[in-house]
Amino acid sequence: MIVAASTECFPDLSLPAVLERLTDLEYTCVEIAIHENGPHLRPTQVAGEFEKVLAACRATRLTTVGFSLDFAATGETYYEQFQACCRLAKAMKVVTLTVPAAELGTPFNEEIERLRRLAAIATLEGVLVGLKTQIGCLTENPDTAVVLCDQVKGLGLTLDPSHYVTGPLQGGKYRQVMKHVVNVHLRDSTKDQYQTRVGQGEIEYGRLITELAKEKYRRALVVSITPMEDVDHAGEMRKMRLLLESLL
């Protein structure tokens, strides 16, 4: 396993500034967020200015280990933008693309159809789709997340344990998802707080890494800590990196 950080950790900085900051914090790997309503790259840019976006992604000494995707487009435009992101991943030698799950209340068959189409597009470009485990979405229940993976060939999960600690599961067992994990997002959390200072929450990093190792997981552990009021953000980022590296 390798330790990486998400560009989402620094929502107030430009992409070049984020990459520079992560280098200063001694990270060697990065997951780049491509979110339509985000501060860095957007799917519309990937589809419309491919070479420019590719150059921006390559302008760093950090190794890009994944892309986190979030779209505003619908219909065929949505799938066209996703395909462009797959092309970008292939060009960057990135294997894992993280996508949000459908919101609770979405018809199950409708979500299966969407995910099958995404997985088929990704397979053609040699990349994997990781469906994020997320409060308020179909994957907030680990059993449902497993069923989705069982129904869609080539689909994996981006495990974010905070959503199983703070969400309806309230720290219950989610061992069943481990065999499907293709990416991991990490911060510390309690049942009442989605994000807290590193070491003050209930995420058992050592146990998590052990469970992942049993499934022969060899991909990234992506730090995803956003700024908190009156907390040294850079200090939290360093602390998490050192903690994870000490456990590997």
**Total count of domains within the chain:** 1
Mean pLDDT for the stretch of residues 22-34: 97
Tell me the pLDDT tens digit for each residue of 31-83.
Answer: 999 999 999 899 999 999 999 999 999 999 999 999 999 999 999 999 999 99
* Nearest-angstrom CA–CA distance, 159 and 165: 12
Dihedral angle over CA of 93, 75, 114, 123, nearest 10: -30
**Beta carbons within 10 angstroms of residue 59's beta carbon:** 11
The CA-based dihedral angle spanning residues 25, 99, 160, 219, taken in that order and rounded to the nearest 10 degrees: -60
138: β partners: none
Residue 171, pLDDT score? 84
Q: Is the pLDDT of residue 119 over 90?
A: yes
Confidence of residue 237 (pLDDT cuts 50, 70, 90): very high
**In the predicted model, what is the mean pLDDT of the chain?**
96
- The parent domain of residue 231 ranges over 2-247
- Phi and psi dihedrals of 195, rounded to 5? -135, 130
Is the pTM value of this prediction over 0.75? yes
Tokens of 34: 């491509």
How is the chain split among helix, strand and coil, in percent rounded to 5? 45, 20, 35
CA distance 115 to 102: 10
> Which CATH number does the domain housing residue 167 bear?
3.20.20.150
| Per-residue pLDDT reduced to its tens digit, 160-217 | 999 999 999 998 889 999 999 999 999 999 999 999 999 999 999 999 999 999 999 9
